[in-house]
Amino acid sequence: MPKVKYHSLENISYQSGWDLQTELHNVLKENKLAWRDLPEEEKSKKKQVHHLLFCQHNHVYTLGKSGSQDHLLLNDDGLSASNIEYFKINRGGDITYHGPGQITGYPIFDLDEFFSDVHKYVRLLEECVIQLLDTYGITGYREDGFTGVWIQPKETDSPKRKICAIGVHLSRWVTMHGFALNVNTDLSYFKNIVPCGIADDDKTVTSMESELGKKVDQEEVKMRLKSIFAQVFEFEFIEEEY
């Protein structure tokens, strides 16, 4: 069973989080290269230490490699005045927001020790969030043609609401980037972008706070989600935490 180290990082800049992801990602890739030519008996004894990072970032917009710059509705002066950072990054997907009140999760997994299937990986990320929401009485679902987790409209003429965005990057079957779950997120920050590049009038963003009508204990959400990840991806946590 894969072994995973858990990292909880509060009020971390996006650059610092990206640097840590990259460092951990590179270690797993370097291990694979170093072990590649070992005898099979010796290679079978080598096991990766995978990582699961739950971060709360400072205000930042990130644009994926397939996204459009036009989906950022602020210029440089507007970003500076609002104290919001902006990064073009190497994950899939379009533009999104990260910030306080949100859990941004980065699994750094060598999928060769789980399963070699990108589609399954993304679906399981969604499944973890769907199961987490269910423990709070919120029904999440997958919207055909879109990644992430959505909430069904309360009324027929109400928009569909996205509560969790997903964008990943893989190299040599090692993952980075991941998901962004809106817990107590200030949703006004999404007004400065076209979230995930989706401009449809019948789709918007939401948060657990918005759905439940009250603040949610974010630490409790993290602990529940951490446990669900272990069950869904079938791994064990290493006790040491960061």
Whole domain around residue 121: which residue ranges? Answer: 10-241
Higher pLDDT, 229 or 42: 229
**3 part of a folded domain:** no
Query: Does any domain span residue 4?
Result: no
Distance CA(186)–CA(208), nearest Å, equals 11
pLDDT at 240: 59
pLDDT greater at residue 242 or residue 130: 130
Active site residue 196: yes
Domain-embedded: residue 5: no
Give the pLDDT confidence of 42-58 residue by residue, as tens digits.
Answer: 888 899 999 999 999 99
Cα(56)–Cα(180) distance, integer angstroms: 10
pLDDT in tens, 181-220: 999 999 999 999 888 777 777 889 999 999 999 999 999 9
Residue 134 lies in a domain: yes
Q: Please report whether residue 33 resides in a domain.
A: yes
Q: For residue 190, what is the domain's CATH number?
A: 3.30.930.10
Asked if residue 132 belongs to a domain, the reply is yes
* Inside any domain, residue 90: yes
> pTM for this structure?
0.93
Amino acid letter for position 66: S
Cα 85 → chain centroid: 18
Query: What's the angle, vertex CA 121, arms to CA 5 and CA 16, rounded to 5?
Result: 45
Give the chain's domain count. 1
